[in-house]
Amino acid sequence: MMKKLVSMLLMLSVMLILTANPGQAAAVPKLFLNGNALASDVEPRLVNNYTMVPIAVVAGGLGYQVSWDQATKSASIHNGQTQMTLTVGKSTALVNGQQVKLEAPPMIDKGRTMLPLRFVGSQLGLDVQWDNVSKSVHMKEQNPSQPGEGGGNPSLPPASGQIQGITYDGISRFSIDYDGVISPNAMLVLTGPDRLVLDLPNTSFGSLFEPGTPSGEASYEVDGHPALSGIRYSAHADKPVRIVFDLSLPTTYEVTQSNGQLNIDVKYPEPGAVPSPGPDSGGNKIYKVVIDAGHGGKDPGAISITKRQEKEFNLAVALKIKALLDKEPRIQPYMTRSNDTFVELADRANFANNLGADLFLSIHANSFRPDVTGVETYYNRESSRAFADVMHKHLVKATGLPDRKVRQANFAVIRRTTMPAILIEAGYLSNRHDDSVLAKEEVRDRIAKEMVDGMKSYLKLS
């Protein structure tokens, strides 16, 4: 964690040292972290009096977890505590699930994605000072931990938020009512046993909080939820408030926050997800395959030239694939969504990983210039390449559209999954011919059939 923080501090400080003249390139400054000299050869840019830093600095030079979604033109940054998502041209960002206004929106400049330094720096808690005499940047962690002090658990700053109650609606939603300010960390998805863990830094229990005690630990069982068996929470002076959702099987979740209330929706698993399939009657392995219908809910995806939404095409094809796989005795299908709902990219990958899936297929349609036409199949890791090659041949056959080849990409759902995982782009909705082809029911049926045939071929079941 310390290494990641050092890297991030390095990036952020570089961004502050630009000269006042936006037409001149700034010399790389001397950088110091907690008094120790650092080095960097990546220069920021001054755009409209705001310092912008290339995303490559965050990903490479700073060592943070960074993902880039080409479809939405958005960058996600995670430092172990803070999760940020910034979108090119958008004046707000998501920080731990909350909308936060930006002073300058991210942009693409000469092919490089640039992020606003001041925002990133403030969210990651950096103390950065510029020494004009020595032309150097001095960076300090605001609360650096010291080895051997406090057993590795330094005391938190005074609590800025107080929990006044935790309620359950009896279906899927837990609501945390609070006063003040609460900034939850990103949800942790853990296994052995399965559970969701949410930490709330700088938070305490209010004196009127019931049930349970204002400090210590409390828990209760949950009845009626197919995946959630109980909830536990604790608060200690040297740790954040921690809320644990105990699961009887892996599932997804959604966290929302507004007007003094933090809501955690623990989703129902897909029908048939439990019990996990064992061997068939002949003792053969049953393969678990996750079908991911891209986009959904508030995220429509691409809009076709005839104003159709990509999310509808993705779901329609995904449901057809599942229906065909339901008839296969040695393949058990699972879906990341089976209706028009929004599922976070991380949740889609976590769902597949927690299931121990054997294959992951994400369904999409593309959009670009009106003259671009054809199909593409994307993979991330080399271990997914063979699966991509097989499925792509079947995709070309199903659509009859031009072959735009198998390609490597960094899409989150195929990068974060641990099994062979691919993402297909079945055509370009921005192209009139592709749009008309993908709108046909018989074409969607063919795509579904060929995807199933491709899986069977790859798994050597045909």
Q: Which residues are catalytic?
A: 425
Q: Please, which residues have CB within 8 angstroms of residue 97's CB and are 6 or more apart in sequence?
A: 83, 184, 255, 256, 257
Q: Hey, what amino acid is at 347?
A: D
Q: CA–CA separation, 253 vs 266, rounded Å?
A: 4
Query: Distance between CA 406 and CA 375 in Å, rounded?
Result: 9
Q: Which residues contact 390 (CB under 8 A, 6 or more apart)?
A: 454, 457, 458
Q: 134 phi and psi, to 5 degrees?
A: -95, 0
Q: How many residues are listed for the chain in this entry?
A: 462
C-alpha span between 457 and 462 (Å, rounded) = 6
Joined tokens for residue 297: 């809910």
Cα–Cα dist 239/216, whole Å: 11
How many CB atoms within 10 Å of residue 56? 15
For residues 273 and 279, is the Cβ–Cβ distance under 8 A? no
DSSP-derived letter for residue 213 is: -
Q: CB count, 10 Å around CB of 25?
A: 12
Of 323, 359, 320, 451, nearest to 398 (Cα)?
451
Closest CA to 391 of 328, 451, 320: 451
Q: What Rg value do the Cα atoms of the chain yield, rounded? A: 24
Angle between helices 441-458 and 385-399 (to 10 degrees): 150
The residue whose two tokens read 């641990």 is: 418
Cα distance between residue 452 and residue 319, in whole Å: 12
What are the structure tokens assigned to 121, written together?
């720096």
Distance CA 165, CA 194 (A): 25
Residue 365: C-alpha distances to residues 75, 247, 290, 314, 377 (Å): 21, 34, 18, 7, 11
